[in-house]
Amino acid sequence: MAEAPAGVEGQGFFATSFDKVIGLARANSLWPLPFATSCCGIEFMATMASHYDISRFGSERPSFSPRQADLLMVMGTIAKKMGPILKQVYQQMAEPRWVLSVGACACSGGIFDTYSVLQGIDRVIPVDVYVPGCPPRPEQIIEGLMKIQEIAKNESLRRRNSPEYQALLESYNIK
């Protein structure tokens, strides 16, 4: 059960700000889009399954359509040829959207320091949280998800309209 946000309480009433209520709802209903290309994807499967049970965080509904997802989870080795496809998937997601980079390959190319592998997905899209490991254990993926929840919960509703955020997207040539 999610905790109520900070607010003012009295007999028969509870008041809080709109930002906090929206943040609470967003943080506890993240819909992931699993962009899994290799072994880290198997760890995601374990994270989804009954033992770790990602549905405890309101994220049991994976979406394979970017338009119905707000959390892009990139898990696996991303070849340079896939970079534009990953970017297109990101661009098809509606705001607000977050990106979780899972595992050494997605974060930095991992052990594949070669001409064909993208040396980190943040070369093509902005990343919110990085999960290290080769592969990371499900506990680490869950911790990454919880960090995204923290960001979603505390983010200003207007951050996405801020000049800083627009400048970040422009630096990736994303409109």
| Residue 66 vs 76, nearer CB to ligand SF4 | 76
The closest alpha carbon to 169, from 117, 93, 64, belongs to: 93
Applying CB under 6 A, does 86 fall inside the site for ligand SF4? Answer: no
Contact range with ligand SF4 by CB under 6 A, out of 19-27, 35-43, 58-66, 144-152: 35-43
Question: How many whole angstroms separate alpha carbon 124 and alpha carbon 146?
Answer: 24
8-10 and 13-15 strand pairing: antiparallel
Applying CB under 6 A, does 78 fall inside the site for ligand SF4? Answer: no
Output the smallest distance, CB 102 to ligand SF4, in A: 8
Question: How many whole angstroms separate alpha carbon 131 and alpha carbon 27?
Answer: 18
Question: How many whole angstroms separate alpha carbon 89 and alpha carbon 91?
Answer: 5
| Residue 69 vs 104, nearer CB to ligand SF4 | 104
Local structure of 154: helix, strand or coil: helix
Contact range with ligand SF4 by CB under 6 A, out of 23-31, 62-70, 104-112, 145-153: 104-112
Q: Given the rule CB under 6 A, which residues bind ligand SF4?
A: 38-40, 76-77, 103-105, 110, 134-135
